[in-house]
Amino acid sequence: MSDEMISLFQPWLEVTTVSNCTIDCSYCPQRIFQKHYHGCKMLTLSDFKSALVSVPRYVGIHFSGFAEPFLNPQCIDMMEYAHSKGHRISLFSTLVGLRNTDVERLKRCDPEVTLHLPDNLGNAKIPLTQTYKDTLTAVMRRLRITTFYVMNEHFISNERAGSCTDTKGRHLRGWFFCEKLSAPQFVMLPNCDVTLCCMDFGLKHIIGNLASQSWLEIIRSPEYQKVCANRLKIDGDVLCRKCAWASVNFRTQYYIKRVVQRYYVKQCIAQYCKK
Ligand code: SF4
Ligand code: SF4
């Protein structure tokens, strides 16, 4: 497939800026990630710049991955750098670690923001300090927020390919579809290793390393090609076969439930605003 065709499917690279997410949400398979990851704890700005050298401009850069991006103090510099190179920027964040004074810098990167808000059950351990509240207010006033998540009783788990504690085991047989196998949506770790997707907390499919390989080499790597080829097989040992995202039934139910969840999240935000 040509680079232009790949670009039609919105490929992106998720960046994990630190190896230990202190928000430690009860739903998130952080322990599994930490058990399998043995690289450096923090992505450096210089490694990030080197990793981006071969990544085409049409590949969006998502600051999300397997940890809260702003736990790395250089995250905002990385966002500015990626934006200056012409990449679309997305952010999935609790805002923990973001300085209020950096909100304007963030705005200039024009990110599409998904906000992960505190919940009444304490599932996400977001410290509710005055600094946090001021930053949240500034972000809600100044940035383009497209989605909100709250891990309350209405939260819908995507199961992270069986890594979450509340998920039932799945094993899909037969052919399956996932857009991430047509347009890559890889996750880069702090040591620049690249893994299959945001479900791969257990690092089952490390498909390359952007410090030593180009984007194209990683797409053509045997590991990624093996997973892609498995789509058309009856069975096999790939993460996708444990993943709810490969199930048409699950996706349909998930999208319907998300409509309901959005309603509850709006109510939740109205309550925050009153406070
Ligand atoms: S903030 Fe995100 S990455 Fe961190 S523990 Fe919660 S869900 Fe996981
Ligand atoms: S099916 Fe699941 S594990 Fe496979 S690429 Fe898609 S999201 Fe990732």
187 lines ligand 2 (CB under 6 A): no
- Whether 17 lines ligand 1, by a CB cut-off of 6 Å, is no
- Give the atom of ligand 2 at the shortest distance from the alpha carbon of 178: 6
Rounded mean pLDDT of the chain?
Answer: 91
Structure confidence at residue 254 as a pLDDT band (50, 70, 90): confident
Q: Name the most confidently modeled range: 5-9, 60-64, 138-142.
A: 60-64
Residue 7 pLDDT greater than 50, yes or no? no
Residue nearest to atom 8 of ligand 2 (CA): 197
Mean pLDDT of 203-232: 98
The verdict on pTM exceeding 0.75 is yes
- Exposure string of 175-206, with b = 16+ CB inside 10 Å and e = fewer, is ebebebbbbbbbbbbbbbbbbbbbbbbbbbbb
Mean pLDDT of 206-210: 98
Which ligand is the nearest neighbour of the Cα of 245? 2
**Mean pLDDT throughout 130-158?**
90
| pLDDT surpassing 90 at residue 257 | no
Residue 252's pLDDT is 86
Q: What average pLDDT score do residues 255-274 get?
A: 73
In the chain, pLDDT over 90 holds for what percent of residues? 76
The protein residue with its alpha carbon nearest to ligand 2, atom 4, reads 240
